[in-house]
Chain A
Amino acid sequence: MEYKLASNTTTRVISQEFDYSVPASLEEALELRDEHGDDVRPLAGGTDLLIQLKADVRTESHLMYVNGLDELDDVSETEEGLEIGATVTYDDLMNSSLVDQHVPILAEAASDAGGVQVEKMGTIGGNLCNGSPAASTAPPLLILGAEVVLESVDGERIVPIEEFFTGPKRTVLEPNELLTSVRVPTPASDRWAHEEIKRVTEDLAKVIVSVSLECDDGTVTDCGIGLGCVAPTPIRATEAEAAIRGEPATEETFARAGEIASDEISPISDSRSTAEYRRLITETKVRDLLVDAHETNV
């Protein structure tokens, strides 16, 4: 695998040639990864990867189709919450009664992604492994304290989602590993809000904001602020979170969280938005969504 700048290729065909395998089981898939490393690239829904192959921004010699693997397509209940398989789609998240019951913010985030067809095709594993700062499922997973399960022939390792992303299009996934599932603890509080600021639904976001809030007797006891598209990776606004823990749950407090969050991010200007707009909208939306979360009847 190698990256280069997009050349002026057509999107009608994929001109590079590659080999293709359909492993019959997870075990076989992990063996292929063990033998060939990143020379065999997992393909799930293809909604990110195929566009990159068309544009020749990446070159692959061998794709391995993981979407048919039974081991990866389930949502199940655990003691702490849910275990969501890597090939679970946005549509699955939106229609799962378990997701609705334990982590409805994930269903909300999924419903923001790309329109009906992309919801049927795009997977949570692909969304995370693609490593985009604009990944829709990342901000909610960050504030939920989710972990990803990375498996290889040597066994599995559990990585907190906060440590998974290392830069734009970069994660800690090793060449011999597959992301097999995402473990999501059920949050203590039902107060949450999520919004993607985008031009039209099919667009990637300009800014993504997810918040959660726990209050006791009018005081913020805990809170989470997850942000997308405002730094090289999806992030938590940890300074803003720390600043309002223990403070009165008022609009003033939430406005301060917005100000601090907008200071601690490092947005860039690109085709979807400017750095300045991203700072302004982060400030406003963090405040507004904390107010919304606070007003939720729990």
Chain B
Amino acid sequence: MSSEKITHGDDGGNERTIELTINDETHQVRVKPNELLLNVIRDKLDLTGPKYACGTGECRACSILVDGEPELSCLRLAVTADGSEITTVEGLSDGRDLHEIQQSYLSEGGSQCGFCTPGFVIMTKDLLDNNPDPTEEEIRDHLKGNICRCTGYNNIVEAVKVAADRSPENGESE
């Protein structure tokens, strides 16, 4: 690990303006072709939900939704996302009111240090949007790429089940 310095160079050169709609807000951002979407979201747009851990696709802490699909923001150039609609974990809560998925991670102990949680919460949203009542196997399969070093995963699976039960499609009162 030689240099961790992130240069967002203002030298014009091959910098260009891209448009990103993140959590329903549209931004014009100046980026260079070599800038990663993760770093642009974190450092230029101040949304620090998506986390950098491995940078090579192994941990999934950087997961976001791009045009509704779960992707790894550490392996996407920001320029390739020009014109996209992005959802980060910040897009789930309504002001200070947590989304039911976030509530469930809290109540079931699905988050400890929290570093992996934004990635898991985004993947849980993706799962429940497409499959509101998943089996345990489907839950584990959908989250299999995301790594957590604290919880041992069982509480995360519980959190997803509780979130599914609480979701409007399945009736709040269950």
Contact = CB atoms under 8 A, between A and B. Distances in A.
B55 interface: yes
A251 interface: no
B34 A14 contact: yes
Given A11-B55, A19-B33, A202-B144, A117 B63 contact: yes
Interface string A1-18: 000000011111111111
Interface stretch (B70-78, B108-116, B153-161): B70-78
Interface residues of A, number: 35
A47 B33 contact: no
Contacts of A9: 2
Contacts of B79: 20, 65
Nearest to B58: A202
Contacts, number: 106
Contact of B1 (A10, A19, A50, A116): A10
Contact of B75 (A10, A12, A47): A47
The interface residues of chain A, by DSSP majority, are classed as loop
B135 interface: no
A110 B72 CA distance: 18
Contacts of A16: 34
Given A12-B6, A43-B80, A121 B52 contact: no
Interface string B1-22: 1111011000001101000000
Contacts of B72: 47, 117-118, 121
A121 B64 CA distance: 12
B79 to A, nearest CB: 5
Contacts of B74: 11
A159 interface: no
Contact of A19 (B14, B63, B70): B14
Contact of B3 (A15, A50, A118): A15
Give the interface size bracket for B toward A. Answer: 35 or more
Task: Tell me the interface secondary structure of chain B in the complex.
Answer: loop
A22 B33 CA distance: 11
Nearest to A202: B145
Contacts of A118: 57, 72, 145
A20 B55 contact: no
A46 interface: yes
Given A67-B80, A117-B63, A14 B58 contact: no
A43 B145 contact: no
Given A12-B6, A20-B77, A46-B80, A54 B55 contact: yes
Given A20-B14, A118-B145, A12 B52 contact: yes
B32 interface: yes
Interface of A: 8-20, 22, 43, 46-47, 50-51, 53-54, 63, 65, 67, 91, 114-118, 120-121, 200-202
Given A10-B1, A200-B144, A202-B145, 4 more contacts: A17-B14, A17-B32, A20-B33, A50-B76
Interface of B: 1-4, 6-7, 13-14, 16, 32-36, 39, 52, 54-58, 60, 63, 69-72, 74-77, 79-80, 82, 123, 126, 142, 144-146
17 contacts: A10-B2, A13-B6, A15-B34, A17-B14, A17-B34, A19-B14, A22-B82, A43-B77, A46-B75, A50-B76, A51-B56, A51-B57, A63-B77, A116-B145, A117-B63, A118-B57, A202-B145
